[in-house]
Structure 1
């Protein structure tokens, strides 16, 4: 059986067991009654041991033993009273162990010496933290998004999906965009021009990005660095619906929370080498170690490099990421974390999607290859640096202080060709090519301080979190047309002869729009869960916040003004009912607000904020001692005061801002979300999710029409991995599907002109449709020895040919990725 390094000094048994849980595999969870440990000591334990043997050595002479190891949870108790249930779980138990659970007894037997023929046991319980590394699980023990304190998915009355470290590795997911594509209900819409990809959930755009539960930056439309490398992160969490309680400004779509990897208590070094389709080569190195003899200072460094071509022509990427973090135990109760990261991407062509293509003027797609690319002089470079510090202090087992500061500096440098113009049927002409260039810089500074814990009052258990946060963002954008050598701003394209490798020669770049804007978010928040009676709890929360934006520059010189948002209180309510320790029902109401000061009225005044109300009714299950989580959610979101276009003002030409609007828009979204994640059997892990979203316009001439038609009504995301038994026990196989219903955008096409014999007739309304599809992926992994494994991933197994995004006859119709392969060697050094 596999061994692990332990370094536990002689001390009281309770502290020794906590140290054991921290140094053992991350999926280990111990269950015991603290009262049974009173006055008991443990001898020192050092060196490489099998976890079960190590645990029994710590228990020697205490009168306690392993009384249960069912469903992966190891329960410690007195063998004489093993049949008695332990007390209910203590919500204040520190991360790393649980102090309670009612467990069925297990017949005890001899422990044996290391290397002897013990019956194999599978240690699958996990520490009560957000970290999923080494858990072999597709579901987390705890999440921090939506609550600020680590809680189980069942305890948070919101719809949440998680991609654990194990699933990210099994699927070969290395970037944030790739991760979001696997989350049910999320649509990634490539942008054919300036913007990075847009992310949507419940029909609304996701713009809030959290790291370790705190806001660190806003998603800027021109900043492609948000497509972060994931080697430095443990897991990806998605909170659906509004997060105004902890994020403030934002649509009722959701918030993305990235959980950083942390230093481990024992030495660990991992390496990854991979090679795949389109000359895709990747390497990762991850090392963690105690840096002092006592282990009170621990460090970790993660580095990754990726060099790849793309499936479309004239596109390559060179991505470098390095991350370093220190955990310093200032005292037994206080830990300081310091860290920094740098994520750099460079190369020609677009980052994660090919260029958008036009269609024939009658709506038919052009007979162009999926590999049709951009001119060779296209490029998109980005860089993001982050520096952070975090202090955690435990006042007691129930109360904890968290304080964090962060600075993110990012930049993007872009030049791209844009194909625009429908092609006349029967010809290959009608399209023009324009080239645009620009650069942007951004800086975000954030502070988040909160205190959370639990307490008893009137014979009932309650919990509280209260805190304050601040986010300051500065963005500088500089963009404009890239002229051609002949002085023209565009050139005609004949698709029969156009060669992207030898495009028209460029002239000078003309900086047309130079814009700077700043935003300040600040707020105080509180969240309480109060036990009303027995299994019924009432959740009450609220945020008092302010939002301020400042816009400078722009050619029109109309702006140069400051917009102070009104101080706003956004409430949050929920009723929670625990049927038992496995099933919980909830009803939640949350308000949302969103700044839209980049839209201007006819009198050049920024619009006031959008407001919204969201409801969720759900049922959550926590089965198999937390190894399997389920969720069923019904939701409805209403928004009002959205910007509605009135007319264009030729005197208002500030890129990134827009005129002229009225705040009359109303929209409605309702739907269903179903999630199942974790262990179905000891050998089978699964993460499956289905979403149904019906969104529509709720005002004016388009009342009842679907407003986010580019997002599907139905989505299904499924991924599963199965470990074979017996002689084939070294193999894991798996696969999944990404399926969705049709998406469309409305526009116009030209009709047949019988008199002329061509498509020059009147324009008529037309829906550009990408039919529903299912794209299948698969993998197989072979464990060469206890330290090394080799895996093969195949994406789009049946080479499905489809448009991932549709737009109009003029352009922005984007192909999906063809079949690809990736061979990955992973090892522990």
Structure 2
């Protein structure tokens, strides 16, 4: 969120494509896991678990792939909306174009085309999904590849690549809240022999939101070039730029408190109420450049090196309500002014290839990666009084809150550096049995320097040197269509809390145990995964019982549960996705924070679409889905709810199609983030989206 102070070549799907479907798109051999043009919700392979394409059924972990087809069918254009429809993931909006993301009771980390970027996901604006081919998610610790991270899992955003045939597509969307979006995507060869290929994606949108008076605009441009120095060596370079201004941003109302300050309920209002003055605004700009060099050796080995840089500027000036409110909506308001900058540098280099021994062919990956986040944070705060000194404002008349002159009163420079070397071996013990061994030697340092009101020396908040992170898994192919697996992995998470005397706390440590069963059906068109997991999280920072102003590493938590996912095409014209998660979180000698209360015990997600390819209904498609979860709480409880969506579409010819989506059919009122002492976020009301796509 803008208020950062509150937290810190294509494995083509084999299916029969009807004449009414979009033409199949051929892609270059360097993008084996590409989902664009597959027409399927199932991703057969993923790169997130080992830096190279691996069959999902052979990965001893829970992996989901959100394909380009499903993003298009559900009109998913932001990472917040996309991750809401990934099994086991909580995507909790903050009302300002950002969100926080959790899985298995813990935060998620992020990769961009396999390059881990520390601190690059939570509460931050991300690029429009028009520039991505797919989203890969691995649930559970992934420290071998990513380093010192939270154990919830990792999101890998995989960019679209240039294609070797000319292709242009457009997308026009009009929404019932008063929104308009236009996207254009052009790709193809740039020279006669096709060794140089390019791609350009441009998006513009202007959208009113479900909450009254909130308006968010976006302009995004993405470009990529691939050049084949030879049939075995390819250089890929890409860059992106995006701006997101938002007016009337609203962080919602705080909960109702009693005379002792205890939360007892929510302020009665419509679920479209904007509780902030109209002068609230935010602005985010981000740009990135990425370079990747791949060489494929004749003996089956492959080397690749990727360099990545991203910059983000987030500035805002807004009033928000709290702490607490009376039952009739009277509360204090404060004005917050902020300016944050972030610079991320990332690098990853690795080699992967086969080794023959003992009559079997094994696979070895060896690599190293580096991630640096440098950031600045300037902020100021003013408590706003009512018309008479000491009086409160009404949440139902927020425009009575006048803007103040807020100087920056706090400022800091921050630096988080992480690097490590890693290795992974896939050892075929027997024809149906594979042992997966992974290891990382990890290094991390976190530093900060106050700059406002005075510039002082840098201090170290966290230091990790020569920490060994292992991972081991077993994969057993019971039949060609059924695979069982078991895995164990350790994780390490740095902590910024300090002792009473100012000393650093040891890092959080823990491990995950997971067992699962993966199946494929209908000639690999449909896949299922069932998994049991348990995460033990130790050394969590808790308040020092002898010195309340300090912390000690004495907390523990256990996150355990069950996940089930089915995705793919049971019939050639029928796509389906469904995911269910049961999560039970227990704390020992520890207290959950305000984000822990947004983990529902039961979470179910569904989307399906069927295309008629024959008869009088030829070209017609129907689809729909739901999202259902049990209660959550941040002091005020949001009860269990289910949101239902539907879609109808028509393929006019092989070039033009249109669809009409009806979201939240029954206009269910609910909170995505229920009220606490500060902040809350409403779920979107019933709305309609008309989408027209062309493809040439």
**TM-score under structure 2 length normalisation:** 0.92
Q: Does 1:219 align with 2:120?
A: yes
Cα distance between partner residues in 1 of 2:622 and 2:498: 55
| Offset from partner CA, 1:289-320 (integer Å, 9 cap, x none) | 10000000000000101101112223111111
Contact 1:738 1:774 in 2 (8 A): yes
Report what 2:640 is aligned to.
772
Partner SS for 1:178: helix
Q: Which residues in structure 2 correspond to 1:338-357 (within 5 Å)? A: 338-350=237-249, 355-357=252-254
| Offset from partner CA, 1:130-170 (integer Å, 9 cap, x none) | 21111110011321011211012101111011111010010
Return the offset for 1:209.
1.2
Report what 2:586 is aligned to.
696
Report what 1:816 is aligned to.
683
| Offset from partner CA, 1:592-624 (integer Å, 9 cap, x none) | 11111x211111122221111001101111333
Cα distance between partner residues in 2 of 1:319 and 1:160: 31
Do the aligned partners of residues 688 and 668 (structure 1) sit closer, same or farther apart at CA in structure 2, a change above 3 Å counting?
A: same
Report what 1:573 is aligned to.
472
Q: Using the TM superposition, name which of 481-490 and 183-192 deviates more.
A: 481-490
Do the aligned partners of residues 481 and 408 (structure 1) sit closer, same or farther apart at CA in structure 2, a change above 3 Å counting?
A: same
Q: Does 1:612 align with 2:510?
A: yes
Report what 1:825 is aligned to.
692
Report what 1:551 is aligned to.
448
Do the aligned partners of residues 637 and 138 (structure 1) sit closer, same or farther apart at CA in structure 2, a change above 3 Å counting?
A: same
Counterpart pick for 2:555 among 665, 672, 678 = 665
Return the offset for 1:357.
3.8
- Paired residues, number: 677
Contact 1:133 1:164 in 2 (8 A): yes
Report what 2:4 is aligned to.
none
Cα distance between partner residues in 1 of 2:370 and 2:594: 36
Q: Does 1:639 align with 2:540?
A: no
Cα distance between partner residues in 2 of 1:605 and 1:819: 51
Report what 2:3 is aligned to.
none
Report what 1:370 is aligned to.
271
Report what 1:50 is aligned to.
none
**TM-score under structure 1 length normalisation:** 0.77
Return the offset for 1:490.
8.2
Cα distance between partner residues in 1 of 2:308 and 2:595: 37
Q: Which residues in structure 2 correspond to 1:687-766 (within 5 Å)? A: 687-699=577-589, 708-724=596-612, 725-746=614-635
Do the aligned partners of residues 649 and 806 (structure 1) sit closer, same or farther apart at CA in structure 2, a change above 3 Å counting?
A: farther
Contact 2:311 2:343 in 1 (8 A): yes
Cα distance between partner residues in 1 of 2:354 and 2:389: 64
Report what 2:66 is aligned to.
163
| Offset from partner CA, 1:81-124 (integer Å, 9 cap, x none) | xxxxxxxxxxxxxxxxxxxxxxxxxxxxxxxxxxxxx9x99989
Counterpart pick for 1:805 among 666, 670, 673 = 673
| Offset from partner CA, 1:616-650 (integer Å, 9 cap, x none) | 10111133332211101100000111111238999
Partner SS for 2:173: strand
| Offset from partner CA, 1:353-375 (integer Å, 9 cap, x none) | 75234336472432212222121
Counterpart pick for 2:491 among 565, 578, 592 = 592
Cα distance between partner residues in 1 of 2:89 and 2:598: 11
Partner SS for 1:663: strand
| Offset from partner CA, 1:544-599 (integer Å, 9 cap, x none) | 01001111116698973134322211001011111122111111001111111x21
Cα distance between partner residues in 1 of 2:475 and 2:233: 33
Report what 2:657 is aligned to.
789
Do the aligned partners of residues 488 and 605 (structure 1) sit closer, same or farther apart at CA in structure 2, a change above 3 Å counting?
A: farther
Partner SS for 2:207: strand
Q: Does 1:583 align with 2:451?
A: no
| Offset from partner CA, 1:500-556 (integer Å, 9 cap, x none) | 3x3332221121210111011110000001011221111111000100111111669
Partner SS for 2:81: helix
Do the aligned partners of residues 27 and 489 (structure 1) sit closer, same or farther apart at CA in structure 2, a change above 3 Å counting?
A: farther
Do the aligned partners of residues 423 and 413 (structure 1) sit closer, same or farther apart at CA in structure 2, a change above 3 Å counting?
A: closer
Counterpart pick for 1:248 among 147, 151, 158 = 147
Report what 1:601 is aligned to.
499
Return the offset for 1:814.
2.8
Partner SS for 1:167: helix
Return the offset for 1:467.
0.3
Do the aligned partners of residues 556 and 491 (structure 1) sit closer, same or farther apart at CA in structure 2, a change above 3 Å counting?
A: farther
Contact 1:589 1:615 in 2 (8 A): yes
Cα distance between partner residues in 2 of 1:790 and 1:482: 49
Return the offset for 1:811.
3.9
Partner SS for 2:665: coil
Do the aligned partners of residues 124 and 333 (structure 1) sit closer, same or farther apart at CA in structure 2, a change above 3 Å counting?
A: closer
Report what 2:288 is aligned to.
386
Report what 1:154 is aligned to.
57
Q: Does 1:437 align with 2:437?
A: no
Report what 1:106 is aligned to.
none
Cα distance between partner residues in 2 of 1:188 and 1:265: 36
Partner SS for 1:129: coil
Contact 1:525 1:543 in 2 (8 A): yes
Contact 1:476 1:514 in 2 (8 A): yes
Do the aligned partners of residues 278 and 357 (structure 1) sit closer, same or farther apart at CA in structure 2, a change above 3 Å counting?
A: farther
RCO higher in structure (CA 8 A, sep ≥6): 2
Contact 1:376 1:503 in 2 (8 A): no
Contact 1:696 1:706 in 2 (8 A): no
Counterpart pick for 2:417 among 498, 512, 520 = 520
Return the offset for 1:343.
1.7
Cα distance between partner residues in 1 of 2:628 and 2:387: 47
Do the aligned partners of residues 541 and 510 (structure 1) sit closer, same or farther apart at CA in structure 2, a change above 3 Å counting?
A: same
Report what 1:680 is aligned to.
570
Counterpart pick for 1:183 among 64, 67, 86 = 86
Contact 1:589 1:614 in 2 (8 A): yes
Report what 1:302 is aligned to.
201
Q: Which residues in structure 2 correspond to 1:50-449 (within 5 Å)? A: 72=16, 129-191=32-94, 196-206=98-108, 208-219=109-120, 224-226=124-126, 228-350=127-249, 355-359=252-256, 361=258, 363-373=264-274, 374-396=276-298, 398-425=300-327, 428=328, 430-449=330-349
Report what 2:6 is aligned to.
none
Partner SS for 1:614: strand
Q: Runs of 5+ in structure 2 lacking a partner? A: 1-8
Cα distance between partner residues in 2 of 1:181 and 1:557: 42
Cα distance between partner residues in 2 of 1:398 and 1:472: 32
Q: Does 1:623 align with 2:623?
A: no
| Offset from partner CA, 1:646-694 (integer Å, 9 cap, x none) | 38999xxxxxxxx621111111011001111101111210111101111
Cα distance between partner residues in 1 of 2:142 and 2:308: 20
Do the aligned partners of residues 604 and 267 (structure 1) sit closer, same or farther apart at CA in structure 2, a change above 3 Å counting?
A: same
Partner SS for 2:71: helix
Partner SS for 1:579: strand
Report what 2:370 is aligned to.
470
Return the offset for 1:424.
3.9
Return the offset for 1:483.
5.9
Counterpart pick for 1:480 among 370, 373, 380 = 380
Cα distance between partner residues in 1 of 2:414 and 2:68: 37
